[in-house]
């Protein structure tokens, strides 16, 4: 194994080598020509006439383009619904910034452009290390819910927490998902009671794209981004399908039905409705231990979105509601006939949100307010061990945007407020907490020809636990026009919900020993990444390398080694950390073939009884390959993903006899998923397989024959419980008329 310090030296050497060929780039922003305000144009195409190199503008209208060696050349700027423009660039224009205004088409009834962007890429425009997962990437797998949306991604791991409830959690850079801030269009989401089961509550067919940020995020988004940030972009009413239908069925008895519809009412108003229904009716026990390998149950979800686009104001508002019910445990246990050991989970959720933005006559000056109100309940039981939770949350975030002189200097000022009432109960442990957290923040962004930086700070006054100051810094430097170096550093914190965050640990016979005192968890994160675009055999390719370290100033850890009959929650100071190293290589050997390789190494440790030990259930090594092929006639798409998980440490689980000891490490194992899609006009027919290597963890439950005994444990899950799976489905999509 390569020591972590030596790995830094290797990475630095690679960084220097990648900067050998120095060229140049040009950057700029594309606006809509308007007399009242400057509106950025997304997906504007900027292309060099001679070299044919081209890029697309992002949501802010910004772009970066590699200039060819042979200059002068002509930049052609085009966008759907606008008259094209052209600009001649010479050698003197290297590393300059352009501001381009396009005029809307008024004489032509329709202008059609076909745009094809990469479905997976690291954003070159953003100062932070942001990994974009587009709709095309999400279609590579069944993607029935958010927890299954990362199957073709190497950065995010999704783990099963126990062998009876079906709950899943994400891990980013080896750190538990509760330390990753999940947002829905920059609104905090999946917090509190939703941390254990919420990933399965958001249908994948609702998602337009996912942005993954490693390290601490912007201060504008809050204080809880400790290891990273995952932002979900839901389909927009004005851009989504007029009618979308998706039906899914797999061999284990899982059925899903999704229907979406968006309507552009007039030039200002649009509305969207997204619906989901799913059911798991198979009573599956493949390993014959008497327990269901996956819970039975059903899920119903509905979202309604409204959008208003005016000249001086824009607004979005809507609501989201779902009900999720699961029944697991022994195959003889049903809600109507509760015989044996059963697992019941009932979740009900409702939230409303609103986002308003007001524009000034001065370009790039605006004021926005975000509102979010949520009510969530969660209750159920693991055998005779019950749990209950109720959460009421109110969140407001006000943001003022402006520039200082020119658009190269931006500033954001704002204030936020969080109000929370949360009640958690697990067996005899009972906790009620009320939080009020007002906060203020400031963020300065500098955008130069080669360097950009974001410097932010926020102060939050928790009315129970005191004040916290959170500084953060992000910077990007263009080593060459095709090589970007990024650095990041900052602080994050959160108040733990140790009962609900670890509710799956009720799936055993061990008692819980509560922490002596509940304190905020505080962490620091630093990291660096390099992304280089290159040509391999005259075909585009890219390589990214990143290295991050997260260490906790204070953390509440779960000690599963201390006693055979108890799970102990402990407060530790400066005694836990996570080191993460990842390299990913993407290549297009053929125009219609994309291959991605990745390797990730994790070193995650904490202090247990005076000894620094690896955290349990976190593989040190992970290998990844994804192959995507699309036929020239665009009628067939074939995708395959193979992931190899290395060994991980297991809890030191000694039975009450004091003699028998289980394996201290898990096995390394592969996971192979594949899918083939046929496209016929507005229809997509897909057939796929999961875990095609048919690897299954042997005996995931300890003493399943005695579920109410002292040795029963369903929490030593480190691999797949179910064998190979086959699914099929159909999609129908009808676009809106513009």
**pLDDT tens sequence across 321-374:** 999 999 999 999 999 999 999 999 999 999 999 999 998 888 788 999 999 999
pLDDT of residue 40: 87
Confidence of residue 99 (pLDDT cuts 50, 70, 90): confident
Q: Is 311 or 254 the better-scoring residue by pLDDT?
A: 254
Let me know: does 733 contact 241? Beta carbons within 8 Å: yes
How far lies 53's CA from each of 40, 95, 116, 652, in Å? Answer: 22, 16, 14, 57
Let me know: does 239 contact 230? Beta carbons within 8 Å: no
CA angle 704, 164, 286 (to 5 degrees): 70
Strands (E), 564-618: 566-573, 576-590, 593-608, 611-614
Given CATH 2.60.40.10, say whether it is the number of domain 4-102.
Answer: yes
Q: Is 478 or 461 the better-scoring residue by pLDDT?
A: 461
pLDDT of residue 653: 61
Q: Is 12 or 200 the better-scoring residue by pLDDT?
A: 200
Length of the chain: 738
pLDDT of residue 595: 95
Q: Say yes or no to pLDDT of 5 above 80.
A: no
* Dist CA 366 CA 402 (whole Å): 7
Confidence of residue 657 (pLDDT cuts 50, 70, 90): very low
Q: What is the mean pLDDT of residues 58-72?
A: 81
pLDDT of residue 362: 81
Q: What is the mean pLDDT of residues 163-182?
A: 91
pLDDT of residue 148: 86
Confidence of residue 21 (pLDDT cuts 50, 70, 90): very low
pLDDT of residue 36: 56
Lowest mean pLDDT among 3-7, 508-512, 617-621: 3-7
pLDDT of residue 65: 83
- Model confidence, pTM: 0.85
Q: What is the mean pLDDT of residues 227-248?
A: 94
Q: What is the mean pLDDT of residues 463-476?
A: 96
699: left (phi over 0), alpha (psi -120 to 50) or beta: left
pLDDT of residue 663: 61
Q: Which residues pair with 728 in a beta bridge?
A: 249, 687
> What class does CATH assign to 120-734?
mainly beta
DSSP string, 304-352: EEEEEE-SSEEEEEEEEEEEEEEEEEBTTB-SSSB-SSEEEEEEEEEEE
Confidence of residue 154 (pLDDT cuts 50, 70, 90): very high
Which range of 504-518, 541-555, 644-658 scores highest in mean pLDDT? It is: 541-555
Q: Say yes or no to pLDDT of 12 above 70.
A: no
Per the prediction, the chain carries an average pLDDT of 88
pLDDT of residue 24: 57
pLDDT of residue 539: 87
Confidence of residue 597 (pLDDT cuts 50, 70, 90): very high
Confidence of residue 109 (pLDDT cuts 50, 70, 90): very low
pLDDT of residue 416: 97
Q: Say yes or no to pLDDT of 668 above 90.
A: yes
Confidence of residue 450 (pLDDT cuts 50, 70, 90): confident
Torsion of CA 412, 453, 600, 234, to 10 degrees: 30
Q: What is the mean pLDDT of residues 51-67?
A: 82
Most distant CA pair in the chain, distance: 85
Q: What is the mean pLDDT of residues 595-618?
A: 93
Q: Say yes or no to pLDDT of 247 above 50.
A: yes
277-333 tens-digit pLDDT = 999 999 999 999 999 999 999 999 999 999 999 888 999 999 999 999 999 999 999
Let me know: does 121 contact 609? Beta carbons within 8 Å: no
Domain boundaries, the chain: 4-102, 120-734
* Dist CA 302 CA 181 (whole Å): 23
Let me know: does 230 contact 212? Beta carbons within 8 Å: yes
Lowest mean pLDDT among 38-42, 104-108, 484-488, 520-524: 104-108
564-595 tens-digit pLDDT = 788 999 999 999 999 999 999 999 999 899 99
Confidence of residue 37 (pLDDT cuts 50, 70, 90): low
117-147 tens-digit pLDDT = 567 788 877 889 899 988 888 888 777 888 8
């Amino acid at each position: 194994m390569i020591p972590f310090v030596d790995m830094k030296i290797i990475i630095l050497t690679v960084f220097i080598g990648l900067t050998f060929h120095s060229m140049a780039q040009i950057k700029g922003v594309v606006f809509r020509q308007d007399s009242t305000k400057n509106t950025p144009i997304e997906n504007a195409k900027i292309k060099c006439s001679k070299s044919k190199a081209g890029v697309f503008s992002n949501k802010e209208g910004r772009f970066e383009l590699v200039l060819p060696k042979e200059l002068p050349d002509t930049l052609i700027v085009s966008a759907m619904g606008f008259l094209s423009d052209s600009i001649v660039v010479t050698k003197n224009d290297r590393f300059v910034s352009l501001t381009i205004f396009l005029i809307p088409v008024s004489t032509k009834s329709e202008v059609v452009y076909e745009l094809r962007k990469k479905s997976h890429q690291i954003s070159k425009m953003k100062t932070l290390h942001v990994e974009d997962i587009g709709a095309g990437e999400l279609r590579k797998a069944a993607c029935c819910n958010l927890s299954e949306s990362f199957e073709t991604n190497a950065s995010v791991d999704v783990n099963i927490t126990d062998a009876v409830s079906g709950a899943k959690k994400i891990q980013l850079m080896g750190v538990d998902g509760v330390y990753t801030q999940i947002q829905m269009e920059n609104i905090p989401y999946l917090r509190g009671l939703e941390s254990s089961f919420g990933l399965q509550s958001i249908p994948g067919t609702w998602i337009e794209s996912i942005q993954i940020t490693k390290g601490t995020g912007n201060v504008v988004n809050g204080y809880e981004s400790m290891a990273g940030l995952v932002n979900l972009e839901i389909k927009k009413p004005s851009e989504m399908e007029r009618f979308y239908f998706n039906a899914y069925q797999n061999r284990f008895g899982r059925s899903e039905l999704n229907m979406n519809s968006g309507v552009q009412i007039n030039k200002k108003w649009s509305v969207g409705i997204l619906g989901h229904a799913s059911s798991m009716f198979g009573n599956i026990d493949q390993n014959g231990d008497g327990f269901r390998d996956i819970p039975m149950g059903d899920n119903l979800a509905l979202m309604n979105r409204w959008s208003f686009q005016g000249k001086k104001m824009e607004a979005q508002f809507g609501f989201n509601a779902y009900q999720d019910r699961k029944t697991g445990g022994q195959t003889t246990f049903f809600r109507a006939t509760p015989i044996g050991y059963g697992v019941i989970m009932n979740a009900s959720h409702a939230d409303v949100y609103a986002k308003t933005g007001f524009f000034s006559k001065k370009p790039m000056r605006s004021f926005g307010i975000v509102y979010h109100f949520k009510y969530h309940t969660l209750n159920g039981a693991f055998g005779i061990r019950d749990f209950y939770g109720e959460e009421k949350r109110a969140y407001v975030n006000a943001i003022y945007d402006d520039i200082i002189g020119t658009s190269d200097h931006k500033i954001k000022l704002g204030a936020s407020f969080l109000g929370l009432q949360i009640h958690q109960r697990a067996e005899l442990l009972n906790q009620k907490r009320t939080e009020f957290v007002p906060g203020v923040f400031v963020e300065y962004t500098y955008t130069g020809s080669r360097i950009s930086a974001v410097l932010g700070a926020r102060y939050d006054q928790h009315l129970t636990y005191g004040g916290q100051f959170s500084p953060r810094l992000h910077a990007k430097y263009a080593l060459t026009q095709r090589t970007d170096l990024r650095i990041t550093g900052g602080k994050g914190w959160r108040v733990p919900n140790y009962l609900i965050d670890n509710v799956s640990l009720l799936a055993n016979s061990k008692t819980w020993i509560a922490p002596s005192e509940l304190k905020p968890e505080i962490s620091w994160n630093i990291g660096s990444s390099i992304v280089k675009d290159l040509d391999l055999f005259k075909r585009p390719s890219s390589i990214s390398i990143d290295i991050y370290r997260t260490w906790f100033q204070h953390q509440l850890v779960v000690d599963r080694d201390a006693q055979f009959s108890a799970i102990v929650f402990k407060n530790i100071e400066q005694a836990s950390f996570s080191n993460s190293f990842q390299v990913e290589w993407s290549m297009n050997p053929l125009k219609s073939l994309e291959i991605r390789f990745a390797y990730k190494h994790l070193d995650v440790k904490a202090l247990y009884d005076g000894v620094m030990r690896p955290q349990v259930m976190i593989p040190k090594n992970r290998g990844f390959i994804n192959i995507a092929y699309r036929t020239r006639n665009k009628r067939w798409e074939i995708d395959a993903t193979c992931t190899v998980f290395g060994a991980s440490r297991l809890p030191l689980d000694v039975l009450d006899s004091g003699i028998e000891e289980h394996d201290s490490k898990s096995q390394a194992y592969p996971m192979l998923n594949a899918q083939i899609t046929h496209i016929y006009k507005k229809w997509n027919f897909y057939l796929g397989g999961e875990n095609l290597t048919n690897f299954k963890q042997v005996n995931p439950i300890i003493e399943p024959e005695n579920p109410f005994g002292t040795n029963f444990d369903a929490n030593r899950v480190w691999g797949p419980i179910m064998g190979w799976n086959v699914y099929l489905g159909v999609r129908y999509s009808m676009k809106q008329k513009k």
